[in-house]
Structure 1
Amino acid sequence: MSVNGHFGTDPDWCEEYGYGLGRPDGICVLKYGSARMLGFGEGRDDFLHQLYWSPDGLLGTLSGTDGRFVGQREALWVKRAVSHEVSGGAGQTTYRVFLREVPPALRDVRVAAVSVSAEATRLIQFIATAGVTEAEALEARARIMAGLGATTREFTGHCADGRGFAMTVARSLTREPADPTRLEEWAVRLCTSVKTLQRDFEREFGMSYSQWRTRLRLQAARVLLKEPRPVTQVAHQVGYASPSAFIQAFSKEYGHTPGEYVRRR
C-alpha cells in the first residue's frame, strides 16, 4: 500500500508519502516546507526510527543536552524512542524519513549526524514525489539504507569528489561553526598544503574556504534565530567578534538584517 498527499497551504505545508506501511521493509517520508522557521520536537514512545535531512540548509538538532548542526551532506539519525528536537531556517525543505528497520551501518548508533550518499539523497527526493510505485519506492528504500554511514571513512567516501580534505574540515566546522581555525592550521593538521586544501574546497563546494565558512556561519545563525536570542549572542555563537560584522554579513547574504528575519518568521 502507498499513500501520498499534500497537507496545509503555504507558507507551511507537508506532503506525506508512504509505501509498504506496516511492513518491516516499509518507508514513510514527510516533506516539509515553510516560508517561516521550522521546528520539530518529540518525547518519543513510538516504534519507528527517523532520519532528518535538508538539501538547502543546516538543521539544528538537540537530544538531551547534546546540541549540534547537521549539514546538507549529512542527516540526523534518531533511533526509536529517543527524544529529540530539530529546527531549520526559513525557506528550507526538510525530509523526515520513518523506518522500522535499522540501516546496516547504523546498528550501534542511537542518535547522531550520519553521512548520506548522493544517491541516497536523490532517492529520498524521488520517493517524495507523486506517481512513484510501491515497487520503485521499496527498491529505492534498500539503496537509501545502504547509502547511510556513521564513520568518518564512510562520510568521506559518500560525500567527497576530491581528496576528502575539504570534507573532513567541513564536517568538523559544521559541528562548531564558531571554530576560529585558519586554513593554514587545517592544512597542518591534515598534513597537506594550503594550496591543495584550498583547491579541494573549490572542487567540492565551488568556493573558497573563507566563503564556505561564512555561508555555514550564516546558515547556523538562521537556525539559532528560531528562538528569541539577542543578536550579540547569536553573532558570538557562530563565530563573529562583533554584532556589527555579523549584521553586515547576514544582510549581504540574505538581503535583510537578522532582526527583520526574526520578524518575518
Structure 2
Amino acid sequence: MPTDVANPPDFEPSDIAFTMDPARPILTHGRVIGAGRSVRPHSHPRGQLLWAMRGVLRVASNACIWLVPPSHAVWIPGGMEHQVTIESEAELLNIYVDPSVPVRETSHPLPCCAVLLLTPLAREMIRRLGEADTSGPFDDRLVRFCAVLLDELRDLAEAPLNLPGGRDDRLTRVTRHLIRHPHEASQLTELGQIAGASPRTLERLFRAETGLSFRQWRSKLRLLNAIEALNRGESSTTIAFSMGYSSPSAFIAAFREAFGTTPQRFLTSGS
C-alpha cells in the first residue's frame, strides 16, 4: 500500500483513483494528513471507501456535508465530485473500487455519499487489504479476498451523519457561516444580514432545501461537531456546556435522539 504524508492545503487525490482495470477490482492507498488540510474538489471513476483509522473527516458534495469518525467509513460513488477536509490529524486508508464492480445500491436520484458503521470483520479486512500489494496482477486468492470484502461493504449499516446544505445562495451563505462558527448563538435576525434575506425567508429556505427547520439544522450541526470533540477526548459534560445545553443529561438525550445511542457508546460502536 503506498503511503505518504501530505501537508500542503488542497493536495491532490491519488492517481490510482483514476486507474481503470477490472482485473484489479480494488486498489489501496494510505496517507497520514495533518489537521486542517483538504483535498481539492474532484471526482474519479473508481468508487472510494475512505476510512480514517484515527482522526475525523469532513466530506462535502452537492451542498451536503458528511462527518466521519474512526468508528465509521464513508462510501463515495465513482463520478461524484467531492472535497475531503481533515478535521484532526488523520491516518487514512483508501479503498478504490473499479467501476465494473457494483458496491452499494441506492434509492437516491443522484450519486450520494454514505457514512457506514464498520463491523469488526470489515475493519480487519480493510487493514489486511491495505497491507497487500495491489500494484501488480492479482492472483486468484486476492481476487477472492476482494469479493468477500465487497460483500461485507454492501451490508454495512448507514449512519445519519450527514447535514444537508441547500443550494440557494442566501442559504449557503448562512450555512457556511454556521459551519465555521458552530457555537455561535446568532438567531435568524442577525444571520439575515449575512444572507441578505429576511428571517422568514431564511426559515422557509431551510425547510424547503434541507428538510429541517433552522433550529433543527443548527442542533444537528452542533451534534456533529460534538462527535469531533468526543474523538478528541472531551467529556460529555464539557461538550454539553460549551454547546449551550442546560445539562449533560440534556446533551446526552439530544445525542441519543439524533444518533440512536449515547455519546460514549457511539465512540465504541465500531470497535
TM-score, normalisation: structure 1 = 0.49
